Every structure is written in C-alpha cells, then in structure tokens.
Amino acid sequence: MKRILFQILSFFNSAKRKTVPVTPRFRTFIHLCIFATLLTACATKISFQVERPPIQKVEKINYIAVGIFKIIPRQIKLPKAAESGSPGIFQWADKQLEPKISGFTSNEEQASQIADLVRAALVHELSLHSPYKLINTTGEKTGYSGALPDAAEVAVLQGKVKYSQVLIESQEALSYFTNIKNKGATLEQSLLASAVSMGAESSGAGFDVPTPYVEQLAAIEVEFALLRKSDGRDVVPPQTFRTFYARKWGGAPETSHLPRNIKTAIVKGYQQDEDLSESFLSRIDRAGLSFTSPTEYFARGFNLEQNIQVPQTALDLKIRLGRQVARKYVEQISPYHETADLLVQDGDSVAATLIHGNAYQEAITYLQGLDGRAAEDEYNLGLAYEASGDIYQAGKHYELALQQETSNQIFRDAVKRTRN
C-alpha cells in the first residue's frame, strides 16, 4: 500500500515538474486515488469466534455435582435501567392497560417445573462447554454411582429460583381510518393516502374498533452457589442472574400492562436479539393494507399474526428463560465462546490471509517462523492466539507489539483487553 501511494505522489510531482497542465479534474482524481489508497490501507475488522476464559477463578475443582434448586416465593428485582424512566422506543406510551402490572412476584404455582428446567439447562451447558466431569446430575443423594472422587475436588452447584409469568388476552379500542381505493390513482398518490391514514390513526382519528391482543410477560431470577463438597465453603462468590421477557401481539404496539420505563428496559436489555422494529413495521403494513384491501384491513387478525419467536406455551417460555440464566452462569466458571470484532493489521500478507480465513493455528506456526517480526506481525500473532483461546500468549505478543509502537491505541486496547 505504501508503495502504491509513493508511486501516485511521484507521478503527480513529475507532472508538475514537466509543466504538464494539471487541471482541476486531474487534481481531484489524484486526491481520490490517495484517499482510496489510505482507506484500503487501514486495518480491516473481521468477526472472530473467540474462546474466553472463565470470568471467575475456579481452583482445584475437577468434578461438579448439580444439586438441589429450590423455589423462593419473593419479589424479583427489576432491571436497573427501569429506574431511570427513559422513554426508549415506547415514546408514545402514556397509557398503561388494565390490570396494571408494576413488577414480578414469584410463587410456587407459576414456578412449577422451572427448578428442574434450570437444572437441566445447567447440565446441558456444562456438558457442552465446561472442563469438569459431571456427577450426580439428578440432584438426589442416591444419584452417585461408581467410585466417588475426592470430596476436595468436587463442587456442588445449587440455587434458589424465583419465577413469574403473566399471560393476558384481551381487547383494546384502536382508531382506524378508511381509504377508498382509486384504481386510477398513481403510486405516489396511494402512498400519500396511506401515510395520511397512518397519521390519522396515530392521532386517534377514525373509527374505534375493539382489537384483540395478547401480552406475555415473564421474569426469572436465580441465585447460584458453588460449594466445595469437603467443607461447604464457596468455590466462587454466589452469583445472581435474572432475565425478563415482555412481548405483545395485536392491539396498539405502544401500549402495555407494564409501565413504559420497565418494558423499555426489558426490551432493550434482554430482547435485542429479536425484531424490535416489529411494532413500527406493523403500522406500515397496516397502512399498505388499508388501500389494497380495506375489508381485510378491518376483518383480518393482522395484529395477531404468528411469529417464529413467539413462545407457544408457558413451558416453552420457562425453557427459554432457564437456558438464558444457565448460560450466563456457566460463563462464570467455564471457558466460553463469543463473537468479537477485532482488527487485523497490515503486516505479513500470508499471515493476514490465514487469519482472515480463520486458520489461526496455521497463522501462529507461520508467524513464529518469521525472523524480526514487525509490530503489526506481533499484534497479528497475538490476535491468532486470542482467537484460539490462549489469552496468556495473546497478551504476551500484544505487549511486544506495544513495545515497538508505544503510541498505538489499538495495541494498547489489546493489551488491556487480555489483562482483564
């Protein structure tokens, strides 16, 4: 890249020395070439599947027994973001539907099966991602079989579970505005009419039509404890994780039985993997339907259209939330994988190509064979180690890169990331 940039500048200076007329268009062309070269010369960012070490330090434990999980009938703490009261995406929502729900309280009737489901999710996650051997996954004292390991190497995982779930099926009055379809109207006129209809509906003008809706709310909180079997002491500090679910199908997308700040906090903090724009798109779809088929616009259960992300049963939702909290806890005590966007430096082209192709071990072998590695090559070697899960070696080579270029912020961030 540097060679190409040098050639462009040399050509430009040569043209000036030879009194070749440099027109404004030619000058602009040269500037664009330089800009494009600098742009492509920048480090490229690619997504890696990176193995991360456990968040908590677990010492001298080789076996885990999944113990008893109890149901606790108490209040579930709301998300911290709910306390701020920021409007978020529900900026229209001043109306809270009846019955009003201001929080989640666990009770044993709703929480049936949830303790066993959390245990099952833990066994699943530990079996896939942990280095520990699982023993007694039944939770019963008689669940052991075969030769018992040394109790000092065994940790017992147990917990206290709170769970609450609400399903409300009701109706609310929505304002509809009718468009008369004109086959002679242009597309622009039809779209304008649809926009006017949507605006009129949002302001409350039009016909009030009882519209069915379903709102499903749920919350789970689990306090995990990992105790050494030999003496009952904590292997790691107790950890509490919670997750929430709030979704509505039908009715007005901006209304809810929850206060606006609580629902906003749940959607933004715990459901970012879902289609958050659905409420906005439903209004656009309704506007289009209002002029393509007014009869269907009124009669069709458009608001209750099924979505693949909709839990069909209470059991499905329990499984979903149980898996989420189990996955969060397993990341505390076991290595885990996550997608990370990291920068590949313009060092050795062969090594960079290997890293781009996710051939991390090949890149490590190749870079280790280079004599006199430049700062970019040291960084890329650290990057290959980090993507392979070897955080110690990654930090070592990031520091070597930083020693060569002490002012490089990318190198500094990499050193800080691996130290943490």
pLDDT in tens, 23-54: 555 566 555 555 544 444 455 777 777 777 88
Residue from 397, 178, 240, 215 nearest 311 by CA: 215
- The DSSP secondary structure of 334-395, one letter per residue, reads S-EEEEEEEEEPSS-HHHHHHHHTT-HHHHHHHHHT-SS--HHHHHHHHHHHHHHT-HHHHH
Which residues sit opposite 341 in a β-bridge? 47
Give residues with Cβ within 8 angstroms of 89, minimum separation 6: 264, 267, 268, 276, 279
Label residues 256-280 b or e (16+ Cβ within 10 Å = b): bbbbbbbbbbbbbebbeeeeeebbe
CA 135, 141, 143, 145 torsion: positive or negative? positive
Q: Where are the beta strands (DSSP E) in 136-257?
A: 154-176, 207-228, 234-250
Q: pTM score, two decimals?
A: 0.66
Q: Domain locations in the chain? A: 1-40, 63-336, 345-420
Q: For 179-194, how does the pLDDT look when each residue is reduced to its tens digit (9 = 90+)? A: 555 565 565 656 665 6
Tokens representing 276? 């958050």
In this predicted structure, the answer to whether residue 277 has a pLDDT above a threshold of 90 is: no
Cβ neighbours of 292 (radius 10 Å): 13
In this predicted structure, the answer to whether residue 279 has a pLDDT above a threshold of 50 is: no
DSSP 96: B
Question: Which residue has tokens 């004292």?
Answer: 141
For helices 349-356 and 375-388, what crossing angle results, to 10°? 20
3-state secondary structure of 273: coil
48-57, 62-71, 118-127: least confidently modelled range: 48-57
Q: What is the mean pLDDT of residues 206-213?
A: 80
CATH class of 345-420: mainly alpha
